[in-house]
Amino acid sequence: MIAFVIRRIIQSIIVIMVVGLVAFVMFRFVGDPVNQMVGLETSIADRELLREQLGLNQPLIVQYWHFISNAAQGDFGTSYQYRRPVSEILGERLPATLELALVSAIFAIAAGIPMGVYTALYRDSVLSNIFLTVSLIGISLPSFLVGILLIFIFSVHLQWLPSFGRGEVVDLGWWSTGLLTATGLKAIILPAITLGLFQMTLIMRLVRSEMMEVLRTDFVKFAKARGLKTRVVHFGHALKNTMIPVITITGLQFGSIIAFAIITETVFQWPGSGLLFLQAVQNVDVPIMAAYLLMIAFLFVLINLIVDVLYVVVDPRIRLEGS
């Protein structure tokens, strides 16, 4: 077990180093960092001095090492657009994205699991067919289109919900939350649905197919034969056994929720890290792009690692190659 965890951690570090290399190459070669930092009237000698101070004339491998070790300490350099440390800006924007991702993950689970169970139990009912059709459309529609449609219906037509921004936020030290105010709660509904819709359909289909498989197994038949109530059989025995893949997929999807937040945040002008990244791409603000890439990579690797380890803990039948 320990050998397995250690090997997975080493693999994760290698992945991070590779992504770090990509980020470094972008950082170093897309645009000249020196030109971005100085004014037009700076002399060539001054530029060379700055180049030396920044260590840009050192061997590339040394520069890469500096880049990685700085990044590991949370120092990603200075944004070209904002002229402020990237870590500071990211720190301000991250709570908005994480809150949005969390709420949409909860929405996806809370709606996806019951819908999946229902469509598995009542396969041919009208409602099941509606759910399945909706899920097919949910997968086919690009998420920005879903967002626009929701805005059109709930903000423009019915005028129930706001179409942009986070509403009022409450500052809790280093974390600013919109979940404690009425406007903040209203503002998060549409973006969270937009972001969670795809994951919801995914969870629904997964629960449905797992559930249909489990319902055919002997232990469910035996539970029924014992005269247990249908409800107990379905939820106590069957659903419980579908949860492992659902947990895995949901966990793995959390990373892509954060990445897809780029689109949702743009549609709803949500002041999170995704919107920051998109503006950085449009303005070729390389330090922010590199930092965002590393952040996402770190999140993905971390989530993968946790899911892998949990998998082994939860299901001892999975054989470890190392042991």
Partner 1 sequence: MSTDYQTNEAKSLLRRVLDSDIWYSFKKSKVTMVAAGVALIIFLAALLAPLLAPHNPFDLASLSLMDSLLPPSWTGMGDPRYLLGTDDQGRDVLSTILYGSRISIAVGLASVAFAAVLGITLGLVAGYMGGAVDAVIMRVADVQLSFPAILIALLIDGTISGLTGGVNREETAFTVLVISIGLSFWVQYARTVRSSTLVERDKEYVQAARLIGLHPFLIMLRHVLPNVMGPVLVIATINLALAIITEATLSFLGVGIPSTQPSLGTMIRIGNDFLFSGEWWITLFPGALLAVLVLAVNLLGDWLRDALNPKLR
Closer residue to partner 1, CB minimum distance, 43 or 282: 282
Q: Token match 């969670």: residue?
A: 196
Shortest distance in whole angstroms from residue 255 CB to partner 1: 8
Q: Token match 């520069």: residue?
A: 63
Q: Token match 């995914």: residue?
A: 202
Query: What residue type is assigned to position 267 of the chain?
Result: V
Closer residue to partner 1, CB minimum distance, 110 or 302: 302
- Decide: is 249 part of the binding site for partner 1 (CB under 8 A): no
Whole-angstrom Cα distance, residue 285 to residue 271?
17
Whole-angstrom Cα distance, residue 286 to residue 275?
15
Shortest distance in whole angstroms from residue 129 CB to partner 1: 13
Q: Which of residues 120-139 bind partner 1 (CB under 8 A)?
A: 136-137, 139
Closer residue to partner 1, CB minimum distance, 212 or 220: 212
- Decide: is 90 part of the binding site for partner 1 (CB under 8 A): no
- Decide: is 67 part of the binding site for partner 1 (CB under 8 A): no
Q: How far is CA 118 from CA 93, 124, 203, 207, in A?
A: 38, 10, 13, 10
Shortest distance in whole angstroms from residue 279 CB to partner 1: 10
Q: Token match 């359909």: residue?
A: 201
* Local structure of residue 78 (DSSP, 8 states): B
Q: Which of residues 279-308 bind partner 1 (CB under 8 A)?
A: 280-282, 284, 286, 289, 293, 296-297, 300-301, 304
Size of the site for partner 1 (CB under 8 A): 44
- Decide: is 26 part of the binding site for partner 1 (CB under 8 A): yes
Please give the helix or strand (H or E) that residue 237 lies within, else none.
none
**Phi-psi sector, 173: left (phi>0), alpha (psi -120 to 50), beta:** left
Closer residue to partner 1, CB minimum distance, 42 or 304: 304
